[in-house]
Amino acid sequence: QKEVEQNSGPLSVPEGAIASLNCTYSDRGSQSFFWYRQYSGKSPELIMFIYSNGDKEDGRFTAQLNKASQYVSLLIRDSQPSDSATYLCAVMDSNYQLIWGAGTKLIIKP
């Protein structure tokens, strides 16, 4: 059973600080990794994707991938109250199936 694991949280971070969200996956053959943001009552929104080991930056967001350790993380710099949401990690496995984590609830405290 291929799995994607996330801490459910909630993760509480002060405004302006760095929020760090983590995700581990079981299928070593996985190739594509995604972070989605989901506001309460809304549908998931793709915010980052990463394919290669290392860091990928987009504005205040940085995705980090370490295939050897089978984890992917999302850093949010200068956290804002509008970043408060549930963050879903999704991994496309070696069979091109998209496996979803259960999500981490992030709360940014003003």
Partner 1 sequence: SAVISQKPSRDICQRGTSLTIQCQVDSQVTMMFWYRQQPGQSLTLIATANQGSEATYESGFVIDKFPISRPNLTFSTLTVSNMSPEDSSIYLCSVEAEEGVDGYTFGSGTRLTVV
Chain positions contacting partner 1, by CB under 8 A: 32, 34, 41-46, 49, 51, 88, 92, 98, 100-103
Q: How far is the CB of 108 from partner 1 (least distance, A)?
A: 20
> Taking a C-beta distance cutoff of 8 angstroms, is the pair 7, 102 a contact?
no
| Contacts for 45 with CB less than 8 Å, ≥ 6 apart | 36, 37, 38
Residue 37 or residue 79: which is nearer to partner 1 going by CB?
A: 37
Q: How far is the CB of 34 from partner 1 (least distance, A)?
A: 5
Residue 14 or residue 56: which is nearer to partner 1 going by CB?
A: 56
Residue 15 or residue 45: which is nearer to partner 1 going by CB?
A: 45
Amino acid identity, position 21:
L
- 3-state SS assignment for residue 96: coil
Q: Taking Cα atoms as reference points, which of 26, 15, 105 lies closest to residue 72? A: 26
